[in-house]
Amino acid sequence: MQNAVESTNTMKSDFETAVAAKREPRFSAACHLLLGAVQQKTAAVGVIGLGYVGLPLANLFHQKGFRVFGFDIDQRKVDALNAGKSYIGHIPCERVAELMADGRFVPTADFARIREADTISICVPTPLDDYREPDLSFIESTGRNIAPYLRKGQLVVLESTTYPGTTKEVLQPILEAGSGLRAGEDFFLAYSPEREDPGNPNFSTSTIPKVVGGMDAESLAVAVALYEQAAAKVVPVSSMEVAEACKILENTYRAVNIALVNEMKVLFDRMQLSVWEVIDAAKTKPFGFQAFYPGPGLGGHCIPIDPFYLTWLARRYGLNTRFIELAGEVNAKMPAYVVDQVMRGLNRAGRAVHGAKIAIIGIAYKKDVDDPRESPAFEIIEELLHLGADLSYHDPHIPHLPKMRKHDLRLSSQDLTTEYLSAQDCVLIVTDHTAVDWNLVLKSSRLVVDPRNALGKTPGSHEHVIN
């Protein structure tokens, strides 16, 4: 117990020292050198993984005046960026062309160029495997790819969402073994969880506070200095593990509350009450309540996945996180519940699912984005196809269904017209994109299943709408 207390006190001391970095004279020469380069924006910033997290981060550092190296193993992404083309909806091609124009952004698949970067932010996927356990293969392979090219004085920051302990227990040993360098002596190591909310115009990478934890005082100091150049606010914490746990808590909080309203949705449907009206009434309370909304299932890279990282870690400590697992069970059942609603609606109309023409509106996991990762739409489509439905879809942001890890559906988005809608036996709204003409959907469809309440405030008769 005494050792644990001493360790905690040392951690707090390191944390306090790092927070006061700008007036701390005892830092090493390498630390002062990198601090100066970051603060003067002469440091070269490396970002590994040019997806929905990495590319916006690289874009932000470029906007702030840094030279940026963007690394990705997908040569197609590298080629697209070098050609001035974007593959992410909220970063237009015009902005990519600007990135490439001044020579300060270098997209590459050549990891040998890691040597040229002074800081390296790792933004790679952390999915679940087939047993719903953490799949850290992308972090591990990234570590092996960059380790031979690490040099003294660099900062490595992991941003990928993961369980507490990953940076120290998984990434650090790989980097040290492959480079012959020691973290905390030869290079700096930190963790700073990504916080992205695509499709939300109220927040961006530059306005969302950035949590940062370092392996030691110097690592924390240089990581804080780096992100201070890009984020509106930096929140330093006492360890990498606290920063890792912070992101897991944020997304578990959302998953649990969404599960609650999903369960209330099923109950209130049985009671013939509108869960949407109940939530609208409840959120008038100015304290003690935050509105969450039901839907056809969880999607995106974070909320359906992150809580299971925590349940897996808890088992290592001999604990069962029953509350989190129950929330996961409730949310996982929602796609099947939506399919059941479609079946019931068609049955009332005297139609079987087998042979019925069903149009899915929205494939993306949330409104106004082009990101289909973990979208409940795929599970819903697979089940309806299994039942013999004649399926098609419309999504203004996803012209063709991409091949996913667990799904390979060869469909293309259809034009949303009166003729198309009126030819369907059922229209199922999975994603409530702003760009969709909901008045047209309401007026032209025979039957609409609307688990998003997209038509809730649309004028006109809702007699043929199932919420």
Domain ranges for the chain, please list them: 2-238, 255-466
Higher pLDDT, 307 or 79: 79
Averaged pLDDT of the chain: 90
Coil/strand/helix, residue 111: helix
Spatial CA neighbour of 424 closest among 339, 374, 376, 357: 357
User: Quick one: average pLDDT of 69-79?
Assistant: 96
pTM of the model as a whole: 0.87
Confidence of residue 358 (pLDDT cuts 50, 70, 90): very high
Neighbours of 46 (CB within 10 A): 30
User: Quick one: average pLDDT of 257-267?
Assistant: 96
And the tokens for 249? 């808590």
User: Quick one: average pLDDT of 291-313?
Assistant: 84
Give the orientation angle of helix 217-228 with respect to helix 2-19, to 10 degrees: 40
Q: Does 8 have pLDDT greater than 70?
A: no
Residue pair 307/252 in contact by the 8 Å Cβ criterion: yes
Establish whether domains 2-238 and 255-466 are of one fold. Answer: yes
Residue-level pLDDT at 3: 47
Confidence of residue 203 (pLDDT cuts 50, 70, 90): low
Residue pair 154/188 in contact by the 8 Å Cβ criterion: yes
Instruction: Report the run of H or E that residue 136 belongs to, with start and end.
Output: none
Q: How far apart are CA 81 and CA 103, in angstroms?
A: 12
Give the orientation angle of helix 93-101 with respect to helix 75-82, to 10 degrees: 80
Q: How far apart are CA 312 and CA 154, in angstroms?
A: 32
Bridge partners of residue 234, in order along the sequence: 210
Q: Could you tell me which residues come within 8 angstroms of residue 4 by beta carbon, excluding any fewer than 6 positions away?
A: none
User: Quick one: average pLDDT of 106-120?
Assistant: 97
Residue-level pLDDT at 7: 44
Q: How far apart are CA 64 and CA 299, in angstroms?
A: 32
Please state the φ and ψ torsions of residue 305, each to the nearest 5 degrees: -115, -50
Selected catalytic residue, list 31, 123, 246, 302: 302
Q: Does 287 have pLDDT greater than 80?
A: yes
Q: How far apart are CA 117 and CA 69, in angstroms?
A: 7
CATH classification code of 255-466? 3.40.50.720
Q: Does 44 have pLDDT greater than 90?
A: yes
Q: How far apart are CA 110 and CA 36, in angstroms?
A: 27
Q: What is the pLDDT of residues 220-240, one digit of tens each?
A: 999 999 999 999 899 999 999
E strand residue ranges, 219-356: 234-237
And the tokens for 57? 């981060």
Which homologous superfamily is 2-238 in?
A: NAD(P)-binding Rossmann-like Domain (3.40.50.720)
Residue-level pLDDT at 17: 53
Confidence of residue 199 (pLDDT cuts 50, 70, 90): low
Neighbours of 217 (CB within 10 A): 22
Q: Does 449 have pLDDT greater than 50?
A: yes
Neighbours of 453 (CB within 10 A): 20
Percent of the chain predicted with pLDDT > 70:
91
Confidence of residue 14 (pLDDT cuts 50, 70, 90): low
Coil/strand/helix, residue 213: strand
Q: Determine which of 15-19, 40-44, 117-121 has the lowest per-residue pLDDT on average.
A: 15-19
Spatial CA neighbour of 239 closest among 15, 20, 21, 27: 15
Considering Cα of 414, then 416, then 417, then 421, what sign does the dihedral take? positive
Please state the φ and ψ torsions of residue 158, each to the nearest 5 degrees: -90, 130
Residue-level pLDDT at 455: 93
Spatial CA neighbour of 84 closest among 74, 75, 93, 73: 93
Q: Does 72 have pLDDT greater than 50?
A: yes
Please state the φ and ψ torsions of residue 393, each to the nearest 5 degrees: -150, 160
Does 302 participate in catalysis according to the annotation? yes
